[in-house]
Amino acid sequence: MIFKTIKHIREHFFIKFIFVFTVVMFLMSVLLAFFFMRHQSTVLESHLIHHGKLITDMLAYNARLGVFAENKELLGDVVNGVLMQESVQEVFVYGLNFQELMEKKATPESRSRKDHPARESSIDGKDPILTPYFVESEHEISFWAPVFSRSVGINKEALFPETPVLSPKRSPIGYVRVLVSKDILKARKRLLAGKSVVLGLFLWALGSCTLYLVMNKLIEPLKRLTVTVDRMGRSGQFRKIRIVISDEIGKLAEAFNRMSESIIQRETDKTRLEEQLRQAQKMEAIGTLSGGIAHDFNNILGAIGGFVELGLLEVKTGSVLHEKFKEIEIAGARATELVKQIITFSRQQDDKLEPMFIRTVTKEVLKLLSPSVPHSIRVEQNINAECGMVLSNATKIHQILMNLCNNAIHAMKESGGVMKVTLADVDIEDNVEAHEAGFFSGRFQRLSVEDTGHGIPSETMEKIFEPFFTTKTDGEGTGMGLAVIHGIVSRHNGFIIVHSIPGKGTAFHVYLPLVDLEEIPEIPEKEEAIPMGRGRIMLVEDDPQLLESTAGMLESLGYQVDKQSDGLEAIGFFNRNSWDIHLIITDMSMPGLIGATLAREFHQIRGGIPVVLTTGYSELIDERKAFTLGFAGFLTKPISRKVLAVTVKNLIKIPF
């Protein structure tokens, strides 16, 4: 039990302090009471002695006549006056030889001390007493004073001469003796002791209570702090401590609040970064997986496409089988487009990025979109003309903006609303949302598409960048839009922030790093490999030199070339060898034939044969016109080996 109490005291600063202080206070109170009592009883004693001396001297002075005349009547009044004084027990008046002239007690019950008058004297009782003195016993004090016939050398104005200057010739005529009882002194001392104890106890209690209250007040914030910290430790939830006064404990609470805020902030940052990391890892994994699949699919689709084309060559145009092959071709083209998107998402496409102004492309896209925007949707654009350059690629920006705008328009399809497209340069340091996303420095260009559509519910928010995630009904969307944007933006070393409030709207902010033109290193043009190929090409060209040089180029690229310098001869040759020839390259102006009809002539012999048209700058034909005339490719002279190689390679489809 005792050990338990000691342990309890030791564990609590408050109790420890109160305990020690109470003990100290107690000792101090005892000491104080003791000294108070000592001092007061000394004062009482000296007061009594002083009083005794005074009345004895007064008696000696006033009894002169009575003693001289040895007249009891004269003495009676004087003695009675003295006896009226408090504590005076008995009064004696003696003659010169100590014969008793008068003796009177204060009350008849008072003890008489008539005996031993001589014994109390400092001398043997025979010598005269020249100065007043007193003798103290257990119960009383006996004051003696000589009585002189007249006073000499004393101040006549003094009422009670203290020490009369005695002339050696003077001798006393008698003596007075006053017995003062110590009973009252003792009673007072007892009372004093009682008072001292009470005073001591009072001081002790007062000190202890004051200390308790003060300590309690002081310790209160500490207790609150401890409880809050303890609660926080248990629940892991932060609660701000109320700061009442800004004293040391208040400062401690303030410091604690600051520390807690910083811990919470770090915890939040950590959780957010973990979430970002998890998301990034997920996207990376999906990207790697889908990228690998997409590449294999691409090859398979290539083979399917090739065989479909071959199949198309073998079936009659307009037949049921031809139609079916056409359907396969269309589906294959759609699949190829999808695969292209997956490759973009997986960032395995190595597009060339170069410094460019996004604002031009942005305006172009908005212009392109405007006819398809419903009337219920208002488009606002805020494109800052001062915007800097980013390392990018126009096609990719086109893709990003088209996708974001289409999503926004779709979200407002039923309700209508406002679509806001903003382009501005921002400093990440001043940007709250970027800070939230964990980006802390750098200058970025921010392309924002905001809408007032239906918004994105929080449960789907983390899936929107996943490939094939869509909430659109069949056929409306593939779910590749945002996945592709994610791939593009990551390749730009940028990031995307999405804010959405269901029912209110959505904001997509795409951040792309700004480039300082002076900082762009001179990037040497990468020598791209010229694609080689195989297959048989009929080259029709009336200029013999050009015929030879182009044929030489093609041969160096791995192709077998049949050179023809005359249009009609070329048609005859093709008629004979149509199934061995994979591609025709023909000049625009051939003698005997109008360039425009060339493709038709060749197609009549063998439908589907790819025919590439070569033209000089002066001729009034462009790529688009060439395609409408049925040409599969278009080359402007002078033809570079690289362009020739790429065009031919893309058009010759040999399955193996």
Ligand X SMILES: Nc1ncnc2c1ncn2[C@@H]1O[C@H](COP(=O)(O)OP(=O)(O)OP(=O)(O)O)[C@@H](O)[C@H]1O
Question: What is the binding site for ligand X (CB under 6 A)?
Answer: 403, 407-408, 411, 451, 453-456, 464, 469-472, 477-483, 506
Cβ proximity to ligand X: between 347 and 582 the closer is 347
DSSP tag of 346: T
Q: Is residue 407 involved in binding Mg ion (CB under 5 A)?
A: yes
CA distance linking residue 102 with residue 92, whole number of Å: 6
41 interface partner picked from Mg ion, ligand X, none, CB below 5 to 8 A per type: none
Mask for 302-341, x = binds Mg ion (CB under 5 A): ----------------------------------------
Cβ proximity to Mg ion: between 228 and 341 the closer is 341
Q: Measured from the CB of residue 345, what is the shortest distance to Mg ion in angstroms? A: 13
Touching Mg ion, residues 472-491 (CB under 5 A): 481
DSSP tag of 463: T
Q: Tokens 């001729």 — which residue?
A: 619
- Burial string for 283-299 (b: 16+ CB within 10 Å, else e) reads beebbeebbeebeebee
DSSP tag of 527: -
CA distance linking residue 77 with residue 91, whole number of Å: 12
Q: Is residue 564 involved in binding Mg ion (CB under 5 A)?
A: no
Q: Measured from the CB of residue 374, what is the shortest distance to ligand X in angstroms? A: 15
Q: Omega before 638 cis (within 30°)?
A: yes
Which tokens go with 337? 């487009």
CA distance linking residue 194 with residue 636, whole number of Å: 129
CA distance linking residue 92 with residue 145, whole number of Å: 11
Q: Measured from the CB of residue 407, what is the shortest distance to Mg ion in angstroms? A: 4
Cβ proximity to ligand X: between 56 and 403 the closer is 403
Contact 85, 225 (CB under 8 A): no
Stretch that binds Mg ion, among 29-37, 371-379, 397-405, 428-436 (CB under 5 A): 397-405
- Burial string for 518-544 (b: 16+ CB within 10 Å, else e) reads eeeeeeeeeeeeeeebebebbbbbeee
483 interface partner picked from Mg ion, ligand X, none, CB below 5 to 8 A per type: ligand X
Stretch that binds Mg ion, among 165-173, 398-406, 456-464, 557-565 (CB under 5 A): 398-406
Stretch that binds Mg ion, among 148-156, 399-407, 446-454, 634-642 (CB under 5 A): 399-407
CA distance linking residue 352 with residue 604, whole number of Å: 41
451 interface partner picked from Mg ion, ligand X, none, CB below 5 to 8 A per type: ligand X
Q: Measured from the CB of residue 409, what is the shortest distance to Mg ion in angstroms? A: 10
| Residue, CB closest to ligand X | 481
Stretch that binds Mg ion, among 170-178, 186-194, 402-410, 425-433 (CB under 5 A): 402-410
Cβ proximity to ligand X: between 464 and 609 the closer is 464
Q: Measured from the CB of residue 468, what is the shortest distance to Mg ion in angstroms? A: 12
Q: Measured from the CB of residue 448, what is the shortest distance to Mg ion in angstroms? A: 16
What pairing do the DSSP bridges indicate for beta strands 495-501 and 505-515? antiparallel
Stretch that binds Mg ion, among 1-9, 48-56, 395-403, 558-566 (CB under 5 A): 395-403
Stretch that binds Mg ion, among 55-63, 243-251, 405-413, 496-504 (CB under 5 A): 405-413
How many helices (H) does the chain have, and how many strands (E)?
17, 17
Q: Tokens 């996207």 — which residue?
A: 283
Q: Is the dihedral of CA 594, 595, 596, 599 positive or negative?
A: positive
Q: Is residue 586 involved in binding Mg ion (CB under 5 A)?
A: no
Contact 396, 460 (CB under 8 A): no
411 interface partner picked from ligand X, Mg ion, none, CB below 5 to 8 A per type: ligand X
CA distance linking residue 501 with residue 450, whole number of Å: 12
Residue numbers at the binding site for Mg ion (CB under 5 A): 403, 407, 481
